[in-house]
Amino acid sequence: MDKKATVSTRLLWLALSYILFMIIYNSSAWYAFHFQKSDSFVFDFEKNIPFLEWMIIPYMTSGLLFTLAFFFCSSQKDLILLTKRINFTTILSGLFFFLFPLKFSFVKPQTDSDFLNTFFHFLTTWDSNYNQAPSLHIGYAVIFWFIIRKEFKNSKLLIMLQIWILLLCISTLTVFQHHFIDIITALLLSCVTFFIFSENKNRNYRIGLVYYFFGLLFSLIALLIYQYISNFGLLILWISLAVFLVGTAYTNSNPRFLKKEDGSINFFKKIIYFPYLFIYKIIWRFGRKNSSNPITEIVPQIFIGAKLNSKQAKAFINEQTYIIDLAAETEEIDFIRHQSKYFSKPLLDIGSIKDKELETIVTLLKEIHANIKPDEKIFIHCLMGYSRSVFITVFFLKELLNIKLEEAIEIVTTKHSQSIFPKYLIN
């Protein structure tokens, strides 16, 4: 059980984190102001963002959330992780404030409310128009979001706290304190922060963060092309959406995000995920080793390899062939789905495999093999025939032949020359 964090420890890490923030934030603002190094970067669409004076209230609560986060953490481990994430965000953001100082360029309208004016006057006195990208408000808010999602997951307060954080994020734009470039760069930094300082050691989660990072990067590229070159730049947002959705599939360890049980992909998903499907089709088309003969017999009646094209399938597959399709990122061809004993058991590419997934597939293979007839055969394939099919076949042989794991690996990798046994999947 994790050791509970003491009040004195919480106060210590809070004080140190706050002092670090004050030193970096104020020194970078002083540098930008006195050396006039700053510039502004504004997308054209930002001119349509309304000024909402009441949003100054959630904006000003960032400091309160900063403090509360250290008391939300229930364990010493979570407190240390929070401290690392906050201070890494502060330091790396500060580095960008010095190297690429940006200034907010919109003039704030006058407000009629004396109450709200108090907050705006405080902001004018103690905050600065510098230190823009990445936005620390956003960077910290992402960290706060994951703290409350963990600590309040069974509480009625969760939704209220999440709404609070969402309003805080939106307020960075609607009180005219940050430009959009500050938001997206802060989210990019958050991906890096959570990748480096991750409490979730699951490989799929970390791969998902990489997909999120590139999804944000494609969004930024799309907006830059739209701003300076052509409206067609917005088409890149399509790529961004597909990458984001794949990232979500990985962070949730969901290999069934694309394919149906029959191995097909519905038309709507083909449209949404087209950039992803297209890239994998190119990889499959040009990246397979021994693409002219991607099938290897490991032991009698058991074959492994890559996804087959139509010609290869018609030459090898028949109604007496059991197909175990492990590819999560591509649709199985019609001939195989309709002319064989087909089973779709998708696994995420280069990702981790749950114990239950492994057990289910190996159990299925053992059941098939126990009743296999002399004229039948089993073909286990992933997209490229490199790792997922190898991993499953190794564990299947280990159970089937009652041999050690190392012996099963030796059999498969020796016969299947293009195999790569994914050692990272071994617990």
Instruction: List strand residue ranges (DSSP E) for 271-404, in order.
Output: 295-299, 302-305, 321-327, 341-347, 377-381
Same domain, 284 and 421: yes
16 and 142 co-located in one domain: yes
Give the separation between CA 263 and CA 340, rounded to whole angstroms.
12
- Encode 248-265 in three state secondary structure: HHHHCCCCCCCCCCCCCC
Taking the C-alpha atoms of residue 2 and residue 5, their distance in angstroms, rounded to an integer, is 9
Full domain range(s) for residue 105 = 7-199
Indicate whether 21 and 167 sit together in one domain: yes
Is the preceding omega at residue 346 within 30 degrees of 0, hence cis?
no
Question: Does one domain contain both 185 and 292?
Answer: no
Q: Is the dihedral of CA 103, 106, 107, 112 positive or negative?
A: negative
For residue 38, the model assigns a pLDDT of 66
Q: Is residue 320 situated within a structural domain? A: yes
Note the Cα 179 to chain centre separation in Å: 24
The mean pLDDT value for 237-257 works out to: 96
| Residues 180 and 271 reside in one and the same domain | no
Same domain, 167 and 298: no
Residue 283 and residue 169 share a domain? no
**Per-residue model confidence (pLDDT) at position 124:** 73
Which helix (H) or strand (E) segment holds residue 311: the answer is helix 310-316
At 1, the pLDDT band (50, 70, 90 cuts) reads low
In a domain, 333, yes or no: yes
Final residue of a structural domain among 148, 175, 199? 199
Edge-to-edge strand list for the sheet holding 377-381: 295-299, 302-305, 377-381, 321-327, 341-347
* 227's tokens: 């701003």
**Within-domain flag for 351:** yes
Alpha-carbon distance 239 to 23, whole Å? Answer: 40
CB of 83 within 8 A of CB of 11?
Answer: no
- Maximum Cα–Cα distance across the chain: 88
**139 pLDDT above the threshold of 60:** yes
Residues 195, 271 within the same domain: no
> Pick the residue with more confidence: 379 or 1?
379
Q: Say how many domains are in the chain.
A: 2
Are 11 and 67 contacting, i.e. CB atoms less than 8 angstroms apart?
no
Percentage of residues in the chain having pLDDT higher than 90: 77
DSSP 331: P
- Which of 167, 199, 231 represents a domain boundary (last residue)? 199
Q: With 90 as the cut, is the pLDDT of residue 32 above it?
A: no
Whether 34 and 114 share a structural domain: yes
d(CA 147, CA 72): 7
Q: Determine contact, residues 78/262, Cβ cutoff 8 Å.
A: no
Q: Which residues contact 160 (CB under 8 A, 6 or more apart)?
A: none
In the numeric block, the tokens 């307020």 are attached to 171
Q: Whole-model pTM?
A: 0.92
Q: Which residue from 164, 170, 133, 132 is spatially nearest to 147, judged by alpha carbons?
A: 164
CA distance 403 to 370: 17
Quick check: is 234 in a domain?
Answer: no
Query: Is there a single domain that holds both residue 177 and residue 297?
Result: no
d(CA 384, CA 288): 6
In a domain, 184, yes or no: yes
Name, in order, each residue with C-beta under 8 angstroms of 82's C-beta and a sequence gap of 6 or more: 13, 69, 70, 73, 143, 147
Task: For residues 145-170, give the mean pLDDT.
Answer: 94
What is the CATH classification number for the domain harbouring 301?
3.90.190.10
**Could you give the angle at the alpha carbon of 61 between the alpha carbons of 58 and 62, nearest 5°?**
110
Per-residue b or e along 154-166, where b marks 16 or more CB atoms closer than 10 Å to that residue's CB: eeeeeeebeebbe
Q: Quote the pLDDT of residue 323.
A: 97
Could you tell me if residue 28 is inside a domain?
yes
- Which residue, of 139, 169, 199, is where some domain finishes? 199
CA dist 183 and 23 (Å) reads: 22
Mean of pLDDT over the chain: 92
SS3 label, residue 89 = helix
User: Looking at the structure, do residues 193 and 276 belong to the same domain, yes or no?
Assistant: no
Percent of the chain with pLDDT over 70: 97
Query: How many CB atoms sit inside 10 A of residue 389's CB?
Result: 29
* Same domain membership, residue 188 and residue 302: no
Question: pLDDT of 273-317, one tens digit each?
Answer: 999 999 999 999 888 776 777 899 999 999 999 999 999 999 999
232 located within any domain: no
The residue type found at 335 is F
The verdict on residue 378 lying in a domain is yes
Classify each residue of 288-324 as buried b or exposed e, where b means 16 or more C-beta atoms within 10 Å of its C-beta: beebeebbbebbebbbbbbbbeeebbeebbeeebbbb
